[in-house]
Amino acid sequence: MKRIVPFEQLQADLDANKVPSFVWISPDECHDMHGVSAANAAALGMPECAASDSSVIALGDRFVESTVQSIMSSRAWQQDSAIVLVWDEDDYAGYAGCCGSPTTTGGAVLGGARAPALVITSKAPAHKIELAPRNHYSMLATIEQLWELPCLGETCHMTSHDLMTDLFMP
Residue spans per domain, the chain:
1-79, 81-165
pLDDT of residue 90: 66
Percentage of the chain beyond pLDDT 90 is 38
CA distances from 148 to 25, 120, 128, 140 (A): 21, 21, 24, 12
Of 76, 74, 83, 57, the closest CA to residue 19 belongs to 76
Q: Mean pLDDT check: name the lowest of 4-8, 42-46, 80-84, 95-99.
A: 95-99
> How far, in Å, CA of 61 to CA of 65, rounded?
6
pLDDT of residue 93: 65
Residue 62 has pLDDT above 90, yes or no: yes
Average pLDDT over residues 58-78: 94
Range ranked top by mean pLDDT from 114-118, 130-134, 135-139: 135-139
Residues in the chain, total: 170
Contact call for residues 96 and 112 (beta carbons, < 8 A)? yes
Of 5, 10, 130, the closest CA to residue 76 belongs to 10
Contact call for residues 75 and 17 (beta carbons, < 8 A)? yes
pLDDT of residue 10: 96
pLDDT of residue 5: 93
pLDDT 10s digits, 34-51: 888 999 989 999 888 887
pLDDT of residue 91: 64
Chain centroid to CA 92:
18
Contact call for residues 156 and 163 (beta carbons, < 8 A)? no
pLDDT of residue 53: 78
Quote the pTM value.
Answer: 0.83
Contact call for residues 139 and 164 (beta carbons, < 8 A)? yes
Residue 137 has pLDDT above 90, yes or no: no
Tell how strand 117-121 and strand 82-86 pair up: antiparallel
